[in-house]
Structure 1
Amino acid sequence: MDSRILEIFSCIKQCAITLQELLQCDDSGYLASTNASGDTQLAVDVRADRILEDALLKLACVGGVCSEEKSSALYKQKVDSSLVESTFLQLDSSQSLESSLLIAYDPLDGSSLFDSNLSVGSIFGIYNGAFSASALVAAAYIVYGPRLEVVLACERVEHCVYSGGQWRSKGALQLESKGKLNAPGGTQKHWSKEHKELVESLFAKGYRLRYSGGMVPDLHQILCKKGGLFSYPATSDAPNGKLRKLFEVFPFAFIYERAGGEAINGRERLLSLSCDGLHDSTPCFLGSTEEIAQVRAIYMNKER
Protein backbone atom coordinates (compact mmCIF):
# COMPACT_ATOMS: atom_id res chain seq x y z
CA MET A 1 0.00 0.00 0.00
CA ASP A 2 1.12 3.55 -0.74
CA SER A 3 3.05 4.87 2.29
CA ARG A 4 1.15 8.17 2.09
CA ILE A 5 -2.17 6.36 2.54
CA LEU A 6 -0.75 4.39 5.46
CA GLU A 7 0.28 7.69 7.07
CA ILE A 8 -3.21 9.12 6.62
CA PHE A 9 -4.81 5.93 8.00
CA SER A 10 -2.54 6.17 11.06
CA CYS A 11 -3.61 9.80 11.56
CA ILE A 12 -7.29 8.83 11.29
CA LYS A 13 -6.83 6.16 13.96
CA GLN A 14 -5.22 8.67 16.32
CA CYS A 15 -7.95 11.23 15.65
CA ALA A 16 -10.57 8.55 16.38
CA ILE A 17 -9.23 8.22 19.94
CA THR A 18 -9.25 12.00 20.42
CA LEU A 19 -12.77 12.36 19.03
CA GLN A 20 -14.10 9.49 21.13
CA GLU A 21 -12.91 11.39 24.19
CA LEU A 22 -14.52 14.59 22.85
CA LEU A 23 -17.86 12.79 22.54
CA GLN A 24 -17.82 11.92 26.22
CA CYS A 25 -18.57 15.59 26.97
CA ASP A 26 -22.04 16.82 27.88
CA ASP A 27 -22.19 19.57 25.25
CA SER A 28 -24.97 18.43 22.90
CA GLY A 29 -26.35 21.95 22.32
CA TYR A 30 -26.94 23.59 18.95
CA LEU A 31 -25.14 26.76 17.84
CA ALA A 32 -26.64 29.72 16.01
CA SER A 33 -24.51 28.85 12.96
CA THR A 34 -25.21 26.51 10.04
CA ASN A 35 -22.80 24.53 7.89
CA ALA A 36 -22.33 24.85 4.12
CA SER A 37 -25.36 22.62 3.47
CA GLY A 38 -27.66 24.65 5.72
CA ASP A 39 -27.72 22.22 8.65
CA THR A 40 -27.70 23.76 12.13
CA GLN A 41 -24.37 22.96 13.78
CA LEU A 42 -23.74 21.41 17.16
CA ALA A 43 -20.82 22.68 19.22
CA VAL A 44 -19.31 19.21 18.92
CA ASP A 45 -19.53 19.42 15.07
CA VAL A 46 -17.32 22.49 15.06
CA ARG A 47 -14.81 21.05 17.53
CA ALA A 48 -14.56 17.74 15.66
CA ASP A 49 -14.03 19.62 12.39
CA ARG A 50 -11.15 21.62 13.82
CA ILE A 51 -9.45 18.55 15.33
CA LEU A 52 -9.49 16.73 11.99
CA GLU A 53 -8.48 19.76 9.94
CA ASP A 54 -5.48 20.49 12.15
CA ALA A 55 -4.31 16.87 12.26
CA LEU A 56 -4.68 16.16 8.53
CA LEU A 57 -3.06 19.39 7.35
CA LYS A 58 0.02 18.65 9.47
CA LEU A 59 0.76 15.64 7.26
CA ALA A 60 3.33 16.41 4.56
CA CYS A 61 1.53 14.14 2.08
CA VAL A 62 -1.75 16.10 2.37
CA GLY A 63 -2.06 19.06 0.01
CA GLY A 64 -5.52 20.18 1.05
CA VAL A 65 -8.79 19.29 2.75
CA CYS A 66 -12.46 20.06 2.46
CA SER A 67 -15.04 19.50 5.17
CA GLU A 68 -18.79 18.97 5.10
CA GLU A 69 -18.90 21.79 7.68
CA LYS A 70 -17.22 24.42 5.45
CA SER A 71 -18.14 26.02 2.13
CA SER A 72 -14.60 26.04 0.69
CA ALA A 73 -11.62 23.74 0.43
CA LEU A 74 -8.40 24.62 2.24
CA TYR A 75 -5.17 24.08 0.28
CA LYS A 76 -1.50 24.37 1.19
CA GLN A 77 0.42 26.73 -1.05
CA LYS A 78 3.51 25.36 -2.75
CA VAL A 79 6.06 27.94 -1.63
CA ASP A 80 5.44 28.77 2.01
CA SER A 81 3.03 26.01 3.12
CA SER A 82 0.51 28.62 4.24
CA LEU A 83 -3.18 27.91 3.70
CA VAL A 84 -5.53 29.31 1.11
CA GLU A 85 -9.29 28.85 0.84
CA SER A 86 -10.67 27.90 -2.56
CA THR A 87 -13.99 26.81 -3.99
CA PHE A 88 -12.22 25.15 -6.93
CA LEU A 89 -12.34 21.36 -7.09
CA GLN A 90 -8.78 21.00 -8.34
CA LEU A 91 -5.39 22.39 -7.39
CA ASP A 92 -3.98 24.76 -10.00
CA SER A 93 -0.33 24.60 -11.04
CA SER A 94 0.77 27.20 -8.50
CA GLN A 95 -0.78 25.28 -5.60
CA SER A 96 -0.06 21.66 -6.52
CA LEU A 97 2.34 19.71 -4.37
CA GLU A 98 4.26 16.71 -5.59
CA SER A 99 3.06 13.47 -3.99
CA SER A 100 0.21 15.25 -2.21
CA LEU A 101 -3.28 13.94 -1.55
CA LEU A 102 -6.55 15.73 -0.86
CA ILE A 103 -9.00 14.65 1.82
CA ALA A 104 -12.73 15.30 1.95
CA TYR A 105 -14.31 14.44 5.28
CA ASP A 106 -17.54 14.61 7.26
CA PRO A 107 -16.27 15.24 10.80
CA LEU A 108 -19.37 14.00 12.62
CA ASP A 109 -21.93 12.23 10.47
CA GLY A 110 -25.28 11.75 12.21
CA SER A 111 -24.51 14.34 14.88
CA SER A 112 -28.25 14.92 15.42
CA LEU A 113 -28.20 11.48 17.12
CA PHE A 114 -25.58 12.63 19.61
CA ASP A 115 -27.98 13.94 22.27
CA SER A 116 -29.91 10.63 22.26
CA ASN A 117 -26.67 8.64 22.68
CA LEU A 118 -26.89 6.68 19.42
CA SER A 119 -23.80 5.78 17.39
CA VAL A 120 -22.31 8.47 15.14
CA GLY A 121 -19.25 8.50 12.90
CA SER A 122 -16.71 10.29 10.73
CA ILE A 123 -16.18 9.67 6.99
CA PHE A 124 -13.06 10.25 4.86
CA GLY A 125 -12.43 10.21 1.11
CA ILE A 126 -8.77 10.33 0.02
CA TYR A 127 -8.32 11.83 -3.46
CA ASN A 128 -5.24 12.08 -5.67
CA GLY A 129 -4.93 15.62 -7.02
CA ALA A 130 -8.61 16.48 -7.51
CA PHE A 131 -11.89 16.20 -5.64
CA SER A 132 -13.56 13.85 -8.12
CA ALA A 133 -14.73 10.23 -8.05
CA SER A 134 -12.13 9.19 -10.62
CA ALA A 135 -9.36 10.47 -8.31
CA LEU A 136 -10.54 8.56 -5.21
CA VAL A 137 -7.76 6.20 -4.06
CA ALA A 138 -8.80 5.23 -0.53
CA ALA A 139 -11.57 5.78 2.01
CA ALA A 140 -12.23 5.30 5.70
CA TYR A 141 -14.78 5.82 8.42
CA ILE A 142 -14.90 5.81 12.22
CA VAL A 143 -17.75 4.45 14.35
CA TYR A 144 -18.20 5.97 17.82
CA GLY A 145 -20.42 3.41 19.52
CA PRO A 146 -20.23 0.93 22.39
CA ARG A 147 -16.82 0.18 20.83
CA LEU A 148 -14.52 2.54 18.96
CA GLU A 149 -14.00 1.09 15.46
CA VAL A 150 -12.34 2.17 12.23
CA VAL A 151 -12.82 0.77 8.73
CA LEU A 152 -10.02 1.46 6.24
CA ALA A 153 -10.30 0.74 2.52
CA CYS A 154 -7.64 0.67 -0.16
CA GLU A 155 -7.00 -2.70 -1.79
CA ARG A 156 -9.27 -4.38 0.77
CA VAL A 157 -11.65 -3.26 3.53
CA GLU A 158 -9.98 -3.68 6.92
CA HIS A 159 -12.04 -3.60 10.12
CA CYS A 160 -10.19 -2.44 13.26
CA VAL A 161 -11.31 -2.11 16.89
CA TYR A 162 -9.70 -0.10 19.69
CA SER A 163 -9.32 -2.22 22.81
CA GLY A 164 -6.97 -2.16 25.78
CA GLY A 165 -5.25 1.00 24.57
CA GLN A 166 -4.36 -0.35 21.13
CA TRP A 167 -5.82 -0.98 17.70
CA ARG A 168 -6.28 -4.56 16.54
CA SER A 169 -7.54 -5.88 13.24
CA LYS A 170 -10.77 -7.86 13.05
CA GLY A 171 -9.97 -8.87 9.48
CA ALA A 172 -11.45 -7.89 6.15
CA LEU A 173 -15.12 -7.03 5.65
CA GLN A 174 -16.74 -8.80 2.71
CA LEU A 175 -20.36 -8.69 1.56
CA GLU A 176 -22.22 -11.78 0.45
CA SER A 177 -24.33 -11.63 -2.73
CA LYS A 178 -27.56 -11.22 -0.73
CA GLY A 179 -28.37 -9.86 2.71
CA LYS A 180 -31.29 -9.47 5.12
CA LEU A 181 -31.23 -5.81 6.18
CA ASN A 182 -33.06 -2.84 4.70
CA ALA A 183 -32.10 0.72 5.67
CA PRO A 184 -34.29 3.21 3.75
CA GLY A 185 -33.62 6.91 4.29
CA GLY A 186 -35.63 10.02 3.50
CA THR A 187 -39.07 11.04 4.70
CA GLN A 188 -41.60 8.48 3.50
CA LYS A 189 -44.25 10.99 2.42
CA HIS A 190 -41.71 12.42 -0.06
CA TRP A 191 -40.76 9.05 -1.62
CA SER A 192 -41.64 8.31 -5.23
CA LYS A 193 -44.07 5.56 -6.15
CA GLU A 194 -41.17 3.47 -7.47
CA HIS A 195 -39.17 3.79 -4.27
CA LYS A 196 -42.16 2.79 -2.14
CA GLU A 197 -42.51 -0.26 -4.38
CA LEU A 198 -38.84 -1.14 -3.86
CA VAL A 199 -38.98 -0.84 -0.07
CA GLU A 200 -42.25 -2.74 0.24
CA SER A 201 -40.95 -5.53 -2.00
CA LEU A 202 -37.92 -6.01 0.26
CA PHE A 203 -40.04 -6.17 3.40
CA ALA A 204 -42.37 -8.64 1.67
CA LYS A 205 -39.33 -10.87 1.13
CA GLY A 206 -38.50 -10.86 4.85
CA TYR A 207 -35.90 -8.09 5.06
CA ARG A 208 -35.55 -6.47 8.49
CA LEU A 209 -35.74 -2.70 9.00
CA ARG A 210 -32.48 -1.28 10.33
CA TYR A 211 -32.40 2.51 10.06
CA SER A 212 -31.02 4.79 12.77
CA GLY A 213 -30.77 8.05 10.83
CA GLY A 214 -26.97 7.84 10.78
CA MET A 215 -25.23 6.86 7.54
CA VAL A 216 -22.14 5.46 9.27
CA PRO A 217 -23.85 3.09 11.76
CA ASP A 218 -26.41 1.88 9.19
CA LEU A 219 -23.88 1.14 6.46
CA HIS A 220 -21.47 -0.33 9.01
CA GLN A 221 -24.15 -2.72 10.24
CA ILE A 222 -24.87 -3.93 6.70
CA LEU A 223 -21.15 -4.55 6.16
CA CYS A 224 -20.75 -6.40 9.46
CA LYS A 225 -23.87 -8.51 8.82
CA LYS A 226 -22.55 -9.25 5.29
CA GLY A 227 -25.37 -7.85 3.22
CA GLY A 228 -28.49 -5.79 2.66
CA LEU A 229 -29.44 -2.43 1.17
CA PHE A 230 -28.97 1.19 2.26
CA SER A 231 -30.96 3.70 0.23
CA TYR A 232 -31.33 7.46 0.24
CA PRO A 233 -33.38 8.22 -2.89
CA ALA A 234 -34.37 11.33 -4.74
CA THR A 235 -37.45 12.72 -2.99
CA SER A 236 -39.97 15.41 -3.79
CA ASP A 237 -38.30 17.74 -1.28
CA ALA A 238 -34.71 16.76 -2.27
CA PRO A 239 -34.71 15.81 -5.98
CA ASN A 240 -30.92 15.48 -6.03
CA GLY A 241 -30.85 13.44 -2.83
CA LYS A 242 -29.52 14.69 0.47
CA LEU A 243 -26.17 12.95 0.93
CA ARG A 244 -23.03 14.71 -0.34
CA LYS A 245 -20.88 13.07 -2.99
CA LEU A 246 -17.37 13.99 -1.81
CA PHE A 247 -17.79 13.59 1.94
CA GLU A 248 -20.26 10.70 2.23
CA VAL A 249 -21.39 8.99 -0.97
CA PHE A 250 -18.12 8.51 -2.89
CA PRO A 251 -16.15 7.20 0.13
CA PHE A 252 -18.83 4.65 1.01
CA ALA A 253 -19.25 3.67 -2.66
CA PHE A 254 -15.51 2.95 -2.76
CA ILE A 255 -15.73 0.90 0.44
CA TYR A 256 -18.75 -1.11 -0.71
CA GLU A 257 -17.21 -1.91 -4.07
CA ARG A 258 -13.99 -3.06 -2.40
CA ALA A 259 -16.12 -5.25 -0.11
CA GLY A 260 -17.77 -6.99 -3.07
CA GLY A 261 -20.95 -4.92 -3.21
CA GLU A 262 -22.25 -2.23 -5.53
CA ALA A 263 -23.17 1.44 -5.27
CA ILE A 264 -25.47 3.25 -7.74
CA ASN A 265 -27.75 6.28 -7.98
CA GLY A 266 -30.60 4.09 -9.22
CA ARG A 267 -29.14 3.52 -12.68
CA GLU A 268 -25.49 4.64 -12.83
CA ARG A 269 -22.45 3.60 -10.81
CA LEU A 270 -21.87 6.28 -8.16
CA LEU A 271 -18.13 6.40 -8.83
CA SER A 272 -18.81 7.28 -12.48
CA LEU A 273 -20.67 10.48 -11.55
CA SER A 274 -19.22 13.94 -12.09
CA CYS A 275 -18.98 16.49 -9.29
CA ASP A 276 -19.52 20.17 -10.10
CA GLY A 277 -19.28 21.57 -6.57
CA LEU A 278 -17.83 20.62 -3.21
CA HIS A 279 -21.28 20.07 -1.71
CA ASP A 280 -23.02 18.32 -4.62
CA SER A 281 -25.47 15.64 -3.51
CA THR A 282 -26.94 12.57 -5.19
CA PRO A 283 -29.47 9.80 -4.61
CA CYS A 284 -27.61 6.67 -3.53
CA PHE A 285 -28.15 2.93 -3.13
CA LEU A 286 -25.41 0.80 -1.58
CA GLY A 287 -25.57 -2.91 -0.87
CA SER A 288 -25.10 -6.49 -1.96
CA THR A 289 -25.27 -7.39 -5.64
CA GLU A 290 -28.74 -8.98 -5.49
CA GLU A 291 -30.29 -6.00 -3.74
CA ILE A 292 -28.70 -3.57 -6.19
CA ALA A 293 -30.07 -5.69 -9.05
CA GLN A 294 -33.56 -5.15 -7.59
CA VAL A 295 -32.95 -1.40 -7.43
CA ARG A 296 -31.86 -1.34 -11.07
CA ALA A 297 -34.87 -3.38 -12.17
CA ILE A 298 -37.29 -0.90 -10.60
CA TYR A 299 -35.46 2.32 -11.47
CA MET A 300 -34.57 1.32 -15.03
CA ASN A 301 -38.22 0.40 -15.58
CA LYS A 302 -39.16 3.86 -14.27
CA GLU A 303 -37.24 5.42 -17.17
CA ARG A 304 -39.09 3.43 -19.85
Structure 2
Amino acid sequence: MQEIIKAIEEASIEIKELIETGDTGKSDQENSTGDTQLKLDIASDIIIERIFKQLPTVKAIVSEEQEDIINLNENGEYLIAYDPLDGSSLVDVNLSVGSIYGIYKNEFNAKNIVASVYVVFGPRVEMVVAIDDVKMYRLKHGKFEFIQNIVLKQKGNLKAPGSTQSAWAPHHKQMVDDIFNDGYRLRYSGGMVPDLHQILLKGGGLFSYPGTTDKPKGKLRQLFEVFPFALAYEKAGGGAIDGHKRLLEVETTHIHDTSPCFFGSNEEIKRVLEVYKAHG
Protein backbone atom coordinates (compact mmCIF):
# COMPACT_ATOMS: atom_id res chain seq x y z
CA MET A 1 0.00 0.00 0.00
CA GLN A 2 2.81 2.42 0.82
CA GLU A 3 4.18 1.89 -2.68
CA ILE A 4 0.85 3.10 -4.08
CA ILE A 5 0.79 6.13 -1.75
CA LYS A 6 4.29 7.07 -2.89
CA ALA A 7 3.22 6.72 -6.52
CA ILE A 8 0.28 9.06 -5.90
CA GLU A 9 2.64 11.57 -4.30
CA GLU A 10 4.88 11.40 -7.36
CA ALA A 11 1.93 11.83 -9.73
CA SER A 12 0.61 14.74 -7.67
CA ILE A 13 3.85 16.66 -7.90
CA GLU A 14 3.78 16.26 -11.68
CA ILE A 15 0.11 17.26 -11.88
CA LYS A 16 0.81 20.36 -9.77
CA GLU A 17 3.37 21.44 -12.37
CA LEU A 18 0.92 20.62 -15.16
CA ILE A 19 -1.82 22.76 -13.59
CA GLU A 20 0.56 25.69 -13.24
CA THR A 21 1.87 25.56 -16.80
CA GLY A 22 -0.48 23.41 -18.90
CA ASP A 23 -3.14 24.22 -21.50
CA THR A 24 -6.57 24.72 -19.88
CA GLY A 25 -8.43 24.48 -23.18
CA LYS A 26 -10.84 21.81 -24.40
CA SER A 27 -9.75 18.80 -26.42
CA ASP A 28 -11.66 17.27 -29.32
CA GLN A 29 -12.35 14.10 -27.30
CA GLU A 30 -15.16 12.95 -24.99
CA ASN A 31 -14.98 10.66 -21.98
CA SER A 32 -17.17 7.61 -21.34
CA THR A 33 -20.15 9.70 -20.22
CA GLY A 34 -20.05 12.13 -23.12
CA ASP A 35 -18.33 15.03 -21.35
CA THR A 36 -15.83 16.97 -23.44
CA GLN A 37 -12.39 16.30 -22.02
CA LEU A 38 -10.10 19.17 -21.17
CA LYS A 39 -6.47 18.89 -22.18
CA LEU A 40 -5.55 18.91 -18.49
CA ASP A 41 -7.77 15.85 -17.90
CA ILE A 42 -6.01 13.89 -20.61
CA ALA A 43 -2.51 14.96 -19.57
CA SER A 44 -3.20 14.14 -15.88
CA ASP A 45 -4.56 10.74 -16.88
CA ILE A 46 -1.39 9.98 -18.86
CA ILE A 47 0.82 10.90 -15.88
CA ILE A 48 -1.06 8.67 -13.44
CA GLU A 49 -1.29 5.71 -15.80
CA ARG A 50 2.45 5.87 -16.55
CA ILE A 51 3.34 5.89 -12.85
CA PHE A 52 0.93 3.10 -11.84
CA LYS A 53 2.22 0.89 -14.67
CA GLN A 54 5.55 0.77 -12.84
CA LEU A 55 4.04 -0.90 -9.73
CA PRO A 56 4.02 -4.73 -9.58
CA THR A 57 1.45 -4.65 -6.75
CA VAL A 58 -1.21 -3.11 -9.02
CA LYS A 59 -3.31 -5.70 -10.84
CA ALA A 60 -5.46 -3.30 -12.84
CA ILE A 61 -6.44 0.36 -13.13
CA VAL A 62 -9.44 2.19 -14.48
CA SER A 63 -9.75 5.93 -15.07
CA GLU A 64 -12.86 8.05 -15.26
CA GLU A 65 -11.42 9.38 -18.51
CA GLN A 66 -11.25 5.94 -20.17
CA GLU A 67 -13.80 3.37 -21.29
CA ASP A 68 -12.31 0.16 -19.97
CA ILE A 69 -10.22 -1.46 -17.26
CA ILE A 70 -6.49 -1.66 -18.04
CA ASN A 71 -4.98 -4.92 -16.80
CA LEU A 72 -1.38 -4.56 -15.61
CA ASN A 73 -0.02 -7.40 -13.46
CA GLU A 74 -1.79 -10.74 -13.17
CA ASN A 75 -0.31 -11.35 -9.71
CA GLY A 76 -0.91 -7.81 -8.45
CA GLU A 77 -2.88 -7.34 -5.24
CA TYR A 78 -4.67 -4.03 -5.81
CA LEU A 79 -7.13 -2.50 -8.26
CA ILE A 80 -7.18 1.30 -8.52
CA ALA A 81 -9.99 3.47 -9.86
CA TYR A 82 -9.19 7.15 -10.18
CA ASP A 83 -10.44 10.50 -11.37
CA PRO A 84 -7.26 12.20 -12.59
CA LEU A 85 -8.40 15.81 -12.23
CA ASP A 86 -11.86 16.29 -10.78
CA GLY A 87 -13.26 19.79 -11.35
CA SER A 88 -10.68 20.58 -14.03
CA SER A 89 -12.93 23.22 -15.60
CA LEU A 90 -12.26 25.35 -12.49
CA VAL A 91 -8.55 25.64 -13.22
CA ASP A 92 -8.92 28.51 -15.69
CA VAL A 93 -10.68 30.60 -13.01
CA ASN A 94 -8.01 29.61 -10.46
CA LEU A 95 -10.21 27.61 -8.06
CA SER A 96 -9.12 24.46 -6.28
CA VAL A 97 -9.37 21.09 -8.04
CA GLY A 98 -8.36 17.56 -7.09
CA SER A 99 -7.49 13.97 -7.88
CA ILE A 100 -9.40 11.04 -6.34
CA TYR A 101 -8.25 7.42 -5.94
CA GLY A 102 -10.17 4.34 -4.79
CA ILE A 103 -8.02 1.32 -3.97
CA TYR A 104 -9.78 -2.04 -4.18
CA LYS A 105 -9.05 -5.75 -3.92
CA ASN A 106 -10.49 -8.61 -6.02
CA GLU A 107 -13.18 -6.60 -7.80
CA PHE A 108 -14.16 -2.98 -8.41
CA ASN A 109 -17.09 -2.63 -5.99
CA ALA A 110 -17.90 -0.92 -2.71
CA LYS A 111 -17.43 -3.91 -0.43
CA ASN A 112 -13.89 -4.37 -1.72
CA ILE A 113 -12.55 -0.84 -1.22
CA VAL A 114 -9.64 -0.98 1.22
CA ALA A 115 -8.25 2.56 1.03
CA SER A 116 -8.82 5.90 -0.62
CA VAL A 117 -6.71 8.94 -1.34
CA TYR A 118 -7.58 12.37 -2.61
CA VAL A 119 -5.34 15.32 -3.40
CA VAL A 120 -6.40 18.98 -3.35
CA PHE A 121 -4.57 21.38 -5.67
CA GLY A 122 -5.20 24.86 -4.33
CA PRO A 123 -3.13 27.55 -2.60
CA ARG A 124 -1.56 24.49 -0.94
CA VAL A 125 -1.34 20.93 -2.20
CA GLU A 126 -2.80 18.54 0.38
CA MET A 127 -3.23 14.77 0.30
CA VAL A 128 -5.74 12.91 2.46
CA VAL A 129 -5.31 9.17 2.99
CA ALA A 130 -8.07 6.96 4.44
CA ILE A 131 -7.11 3.45 5.50
CA ASP A 132 -7.72 2.69 9.19
CA ASP A 133 -8.11 6.38 10.00
CA VAL A 134 -7.86 9.61 7.99
CA LYS A 135 -4.54 11.44 7.74
CA MET A 136 -3.71 14.68 5.94
CA TYR A 137 -0.33 15.51 4.40
CA ARG A 138 0.86 18.77 2.83
CA LEU A 139 3.38 19.27 0.05
CA LYS A 140 6.34 21.25 1.41
CA HIS A 141 9.61 21.74 -0.46
CA GLY A 142 8.86 18.87 -2.81
CA LYS A 143 7.79 16.34 -0.15
CA PHE A 144 4.49 15.44 1.52
CA GLU A 145 4.66 15.97 5.29
CA PHE A 146 2.13 14.70 7.84
CA ILE A 147 -0.04 17.51 9.21
CA GLN A 148 -2.93 16.01 11.18
CA ASN A 149 -5.52 13.32 11.66
CA ILE A 150 -9.02 14.27 10.53
CA VAL A 151 -12.03 13.50 12.73
CA LEU A 152 -15.54 14.82 12.14
CA LYS A 153 -17.71 16.29 14.88
CA GLN A 154 -21.16 14.82 15.45
CA LYS A 155 -22.75 17.93 13.93
CA GLY A 156 -21.42 20.58 11.59
CA ASN A 157 -22.56 23.94 10.22
CA LEU A 158 -21.67 23.84 6.50
CA LYS A 159 -23.86 22.86 3.56
CA ALA A 160 -22.68 22.18 -0.01
CA PRO A 161 -25.74 21.45 -2.19
CA GLY A 162 -24.82 20.04 -5.61
CA SER A 163 -26.65 19.67 -8.95
CA THR A 164 -29.17 21.95 -10.67
CA GLN A 165 -31.84 23.15 -8.26
CA SER A 166 -34.60 23.17 -10.90
CA ALA A 167 -34.19 19.38 -11.15
CA TRP A 168 -34.43 18.70 -7.39
CA ALA A 169 -37.30 16.72 -5.91
CA PRO A 170 -39.58 18.89 -3.72
CA HIS A 171 -38.62 17.05 -0.53
CA HIS A 172 -34.93 17.54 -1.26
CA LYS A 173 -35.42 21.25 -1.87
CA GLN A 174 -37.41 21.58 1.35
CA MET A 175 -34.68 19.77 3.27
CA VAL A 176 -31.99 22.09 1.91
CA ASP A 177 -34.12 25.15 2.71
CA ASP A 178 -34.71 23.88 6.25
CA ILE A 179 -31.00 23.27 6.78
CA PHE A 180 -30.16 26.82 5.73
CA ASN A 181 -32.96 28.17 7.91
CA ASP A 182 -31.28 26.40 10.82
CA GLY A 183 -28.20 28.57 10.32
CA TYR A 184 -25.95 26.43 8.15
CA ARG A 185 -23.52 28.28 5.90
CA LEU A 186 -23.34 27.78 2.14
CA ARG A 187 -19.97 26.48 0.92
CA TYR A 188 -20.13 25.31 -2.69
CA SER A 189 -17.43 25.86 -5.31
CA GLY A 190 -18.66 23.35 -7.87
CA GLY A 191 -15.62 21.17 -7.14
CA MET A 192 -16.32 17.93 -5.31
CA VAL A 193 -12.83 17.60 -3.85
CA PRO A 194 -12.45 21.08 -2.31
CA ASP A 195 -16.03 21.13 -1.02
CA LEU A 196 -15.78 17.74 0.68
CA HIS A 197 -12.30 18.62 1.95
CA GLN A 198 -13.61 21.81 3.53
CA ILE A 199 -16.38 19.96 5.38
CA LEU A 200 -13.87 17.42 6.68
CA LEU A 201 -11.39 20.05 7.87
CA LYS A 202 -14.04 22.34 9.39
CA GLY A 203 -15.43 19.49 11.44
CA GLY A 204 -18.69 18.66 9.70
CA GLY A 205 -21.73 19.57 7.67
CA LEU A 206 -23.39 18.06 4.62
CA PHE A 207 -22.42 17.65 0.97
CA SER A 208 -25.29 16.47 -1.22
CA TYR A 209 -25.62 15.46 -4.85
CA PRO A 210 -29.07 13.88 -5.13
CA GLY A 211 -30.83 11.99 -7.84
CA THR A 212 -32.66 14.54 -9.99
CA THR A 213 -35.36 14.60 -12.64
CA ASP A 214 -32.75 14.59 -15.39
CA LYS A 215 -30.31 12.24 -13.63
CA PRO A 216 -32.29 9.92 -11.31
CA LYS A 217 -29.16 7.92 -10.47
CA GLY A 218 -27.11 11.02 -9.78
CA LYS A 219 -24.10 12.36 -11.64
CA LEU A 220 -21.11 11.39 -9.53
CA ARG A 221 -19.41 8.12 -10.39
CA GLN A 222 -19.26 5.34 -7.83
CA LEU A 223 -15.79 3.86 -8.28
CA PHE A 224 -13.87 7.06 -8.95
CA GLU A 225 -15.60 9.62 -6.71
CA VAL A 226 -18.39 8.31 -4.49
CA PHE A 227 -16.89 5.21 -2.85
CA PRO A 228 -13.47 6.78 -2.13
CA PHE A 229 -15.08 9.71 -0.31
CA ALA A 230 -17.57 7.40 1.42
CA LEU A 231 -14.66 5.50 2.93
CA ALA A 232 -12.94 8.73 4.00
CA TYR A 233 -16.06 10.09 5.69
CA GLU A 234 -16.80 6.85 7.51
CA LYS A 235 -13.20 6.49 8.69
CA ALA A 236 -13.36 10.11 9.92
CA GLY A 237 -16.37 9.23 12.08
CA GLY A 238 -19.13 10.51 9.80
CA GLY A 239 -21.39 8.89 7.24
CA ALA A 240 -22.05 8.52 3.54
CA ILE A 241 -25.39 7.40 2.09
CA ASP A 242 -27.38 7.39 -1.15
CA GLY A 243 -30.42 8.77 0.69
CA HIS A 244 -31.51 5.37 1.96
CA LYS A 245 -28.48 3.20 2.72
CA ARG A 246 -24.71 3.29 3.14
CA LEU A 247 -22.93 4.10 -0.08
CA LEU A 248 -20.49 1.30 0.71
CA GLU A 249 -23.41 -1.13 0.40
CA VAL A 250 -24.46 0.13 -3.06
CA GLU A 251 -23.93 -2.38 -5.86
CA THR A 252 -21.96 -1.61 -8.99
CA THR A 253 -23.02 -3.17 -12.30
CA HIS A 254 -20.73 -1.16 -14.59
CA ILE A 255 -17.43 0.62 -13.96
CA HIS A 256 -18.98 3.98 -14.86
CA ASP A 257 -22.13 3.64 -12.71
CA THR A 258 -23.25 6.74 -10.83
CA SER A 259 -25.13 7.18 -7.55
CA PRO A 260 -26.93 9.87 -5.57
CA CYS A 261 -24.72 10.70 -2.61
CA PHE A 262 -24.74 12.50 0.72
CA PHE A 263 -21.58 12.89 2.84
CA GLY A 264 -21.48 14.46 6.26
CA SER A 265 -21.27 14.30 10.01
CA ASN A 266 -23.69 11.98 11.79
CA GLU A 267 -26.42 14.47 12.67
CA GLU A 268 -26.71 15.65 9.06
CA ILE A 269 -26.75 12.10 7.70
CA LYS A 270 -29.48 11.18 10.18
CA ARG A 271 -31.51 14.14 8.95
CA VAL A 272 -31.19 13.05 5.31
CA LEU A 273 -32.26 9.49 6.17
CA GLU A 274 -35.37 10.76 7.96
CA VAL A 275 -36.40 12.99 5.05
CA TYR A 276 -35.79 10.38 2.36
CA LYS A 277 -37.48 7.59 4.36
CA ALA A 278 -40.61 9.73 4.56
CA HIS A 279 -40.67 10.14 0.77
CA GLY A 280 -39.93 6.60 -0.38
Which AA in structure 1 matches 2:154?
S
Structure 2: distance between partners of 1:9 and 1:164:
18
8 Å contact kept, 2:56–2:73:
no
Residue 219 (str. 1) matches residue 196 (str. 2): yes
Residue 47 (str. 1) matches residue 43 (str. 2): yes
Residue 124 (str. 1) matches residue 74 (str. 2): no
Deviations 1:29-68 (A, max 9, x none): 1011110111110111000001001101210100110000
Structure 2: distance between partners of 1:226 and 1:35:
35
The residue that corresponds to 1:144 in the other structure is 121
Structure 1 stretch displaced more, 243-252 or 111-120:
111-120
Structure 1: distance between partners of 2:72 and 2:27:
29
Structure 1: distance between partners of 2:73 and 2:199:
40
> Aligned pair in 2 of structure 1 residues 26, 126: CA closer, same or farther (>3 Å)?
closer
Residue 300 (str. 1) matches residue 270 (str. 2): no
8 Å contact kept, 2:58–2:73:
no
8 Å contact kept, 2:61–2:72:
no
Structure 1: distance between partners of 2:72 and 2:11:
21
Which AA in structure 2 matches 1:23?
I
Structure 2: distance between partners of 1:173 and 1:75:
34
The residue that corresponds to 1:60 in the other structure is 56
After the TM superposition, which segments of 4 or more aligned residues of structure 1 sit over 2 Å from their partners? none
Structure 2: distance between partners of 1:167 and 1:204:
40
Q: 1:264 aligns with which of 237, 241, 264?
A: 241
8 Å contact kept, 1:57–1:63:
no
Q: 1:28 aligns with which of 24, 28, 32?
A: 24
8 Å contact kept, 2:13–2:142:
no
Deviation at 1:130, TM superposition (A): 0.7
The residue that corresponds to 1:69 in the other structure is 65
Deviation at 1:166, TM superposition (A): 2.3
The secondary structure found in structure 2 opposite 1:24 is: helix
> Aligned pair in 2 of structure 1 residues 270, 163: CA closer, same or farther (>3 Å)?
same
Kindly name which structure, 1 or 2, has the bigger radius of gyration based on alpha carbons: 1
Q: 1:239 aligns with which of 194, 216, 239?
A: 216
TM-score by length of 1: 0.91
Residue 172 (str. 1) matches residue 149 (str. 2): yes
Structure 2: distance between partners of 1:139 and 1:288:
18
Deviations 1:169-228 (A, max 9, x none): 111100000001000000000000011011001100100000011100000000010100
The secondary structure found in structure 1 opposite 2:207 is: strand
Deviation at 1:167, TM superposition (A): 1.7
The residue that corresponds to 2:161 in the other structure is 184
The residue that corresponds to 1:94 in the other structure is none
Structure 1: distance between partners of 2:179 and 2:205:
10
Residue 9 (str. 1) matches residue 5 (str. 2): yes
Structure 1 stretch displaced more, 49-58 or 239-248:
49-58
TM-score by length of 2: 0.98
Which AA in structure 2 matches 1:21?
E
Percent of counterpart pairs with the same letter?
Answer: 49
Deviation at 1:160, TM superposition (A): 0.4
The secondary structure found in structure 2 opposite 1:23 is: helix
Instruction: Give the total of aligned pairs.
Output: 280
The residue that corresponds to 1:18 in the other structure is 14
The secondary structure found in structure 2 opposite 1:236 is: coil
Deviation at 1:274, TM superposition (A): 0.6
Gaps of at least 5 residues in structure 1 are 79-96
Deviations 1:100-146 (A, max 9, x none): 20000000000111111100000000001110111100000000000
Structure 1 stretch displaced more, 236-245 or 19-28:
19-28
The residue that corresponds to 1:91 in the other structure is none
Which AA in structure 1 matches 2:206?
L
